[in-house]
Amino acid sequence: MNLKFILSAILIVTLCFPIPVMAEIMPAKETSSPRTTYFLIALPNGSRQSVKLDPPATRLVISSHSGDTSVRCGEGIRSYNCTPGKRLELKAENSSPIKQIWAENSHETQVRLKIEVLESLDFSEDLAMLQER
């Protein structure tokens, strides 16, 4: 009987007098779904593979989920380190978009890269850029 009374009293107190809770307001994460997703298999032992992006991208994310093997990857002459579990975001100007992504794997196991194109040139922008030249 005493237990029921105590639990009822606690319930009434918590409903009538809520305890203020400190909360941190976090900005909403930017969630943009990819326009196009490509997968690039980096074969083992140093060979270079690439994928052509059509239409060219101005913003993309590269991620690897293959164990603990890092590979060199890049676009054009710039190279990066694609590490499993870390997203690599690349941005480019409309005047020089990313047309191709490559990967070199010096390890003995193949690695699969996921390339998510978040922003790309559409054909109307391409046409306008060509007409300006």
- pLDDT of 23 over the 80 cut: no
- 25-65: per-residue pLDDT in tens? 334 345 568 889 999 999 998 888 999 999 999 999 999 97
To the nearest whole percent, how much of the chain has pLDDT over 70? Answer: 69
pLDDT(79) > 70: yes
In order of start, what are the domains of the chain with their CATH numbers?
36-122 (2.60.120.10)
Give the pLDDT of residue 65. Answer: 79
Q: pLDDT tens, 63-76?
A: 997 777 899 999 98
pTM higher than 0.75:
no
Task: State which amino acid sits at residue 62.
Answer: I
Average pLDDT over residues 7-28: 47
Mean pLDDT of the chain: 78
Location of structure tokens 């009374």: 5
